[in-house]
């Protein structure tokens, strides 16, 4: 893996752990977002990595965009280009065929929450705050927050979060479906790694099929989705891992997948 200024990547038992480290709040600067995109490209090409965990060093997951950078931008068209760059990289995370889990502590606000929502699953500490406060600054979300939030929590709740700018507690976020689960303070990274390793232990081909089918399910009519599922069902059945999984079930033992 390459080395970067604001992030680091460590490999841990088929899992890539990406750590954002830009004190004091891990604000998402343009450079850090570009580094996340570069890291994801390398991770997707590395066959030894089967799942990804994303978290922040220090007190926060990511407390928002780097507002100081905004003061250097003179025209709205430059803001739009900044948004498009972030959207492209966050979409790269969202469409990855390897599970990406956000481990959230402290605050995931603004761009930080938009980044977490681009991940496939979210684990949050009990003390975490999650919100999109852009309207408090006279702005709107720019990294697809208005697009992903209603898909996760529904339009009325998304409207409430956006128009009030008030963050949710971790418990509220879990109740609304914004995070998968909450965990005690300090347990977020271990819990996210546990989830990643559970996925990494499955057949890679089967995981890729599920990732693709779930992404298509958001836009495909049910009939088209069912047909795609049937095709994947048949294709995956032909793999040696599927044969091993079936044999292991019948023989009452743990399967040994060789990613074939």
* Coil, strand or helix at 166: coil
Angle at 102 between CA 55 and CA 31, to 5 degrees: 55
Closest by CA position to 144, among listed 218, 52, 49: 218
Which listed residue (35, 134, 174, 191) is catalytic?
A: 134
Distance, in Å, from the CA atom of 253 to the CA atom of 24, rounded to the nearest integer, reads: 48
Distance, in Å, from the CA atom of 96 to the CA atom of 66, rounded to the nearest integer, reads: 25
Q: Known catalytic residue: 114?
A: yes
Q: Known catalytic residue: 35?
A: no
CB 76 within 8 A of CB 98: no
Which listed residue (114, 227, 229, 251) is catalytic?
A: 114
* Distance, C-alpha 156 to centroid of its chain: 23
Q: Rounded to the nearest 5°, which phi and psi values hold at 96?
A: -60, 145
Instruction: Cite the active site residues.
Output: 114, 134
């Amino acid at each position: 893996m390459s080395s970067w200024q604001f992030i680091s990547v460590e490999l841990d038992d088929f899992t890539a752990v990406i750590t954002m480290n830009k004190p004091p709040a891990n604000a998402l600067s343009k450079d850090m977002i570009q580094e996340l995109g570069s890291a994801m490209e390398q991770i997707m090409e590395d066959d030894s990595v089967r799942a990804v965990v994303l978290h922040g060093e220090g007190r926060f997951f990511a407390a928002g965009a780097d507002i100081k950078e905004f003061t250097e931008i003179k025209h709205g068209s430059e803001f739009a280009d900044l948004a498009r760059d972030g959207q492209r990289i966050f979409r790269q995370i969202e469409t990855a065929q390897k599970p990406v889990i956000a481990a959230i502590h402290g605050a995931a606000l603004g761009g930080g929450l938009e980044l977490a929502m681009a991940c496939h699953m979210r684990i949050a500490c009990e003390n975490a705050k999650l919100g999109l406060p852009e309207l408090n600054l006279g702005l709107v979300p720019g990294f697809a927050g208005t697009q992903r939030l209603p898909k996760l929590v529904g339009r009325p709740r998304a409207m409430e979060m956006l128009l009030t700018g008030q963050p949710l507690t971790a418990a509220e976020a879990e109740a609304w479906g914004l995070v998968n689960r909450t965990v005690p303070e300090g347990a977020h990274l271990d819990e996210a790694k546990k989830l990643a390793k559970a996925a990494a232990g499955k057949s890679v081909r089967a995981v890729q099929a599920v990732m693709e089918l779930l992404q298509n399910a958001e836009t495909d009519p049910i009939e088209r989705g069912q047909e795609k599922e049937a095709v994947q069902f048949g294709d995956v059945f032909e793999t040696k891992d599927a044969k091993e999984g079936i044999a292991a079930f019948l023989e009452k033992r743990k399967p040994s997948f060789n990613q074939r």
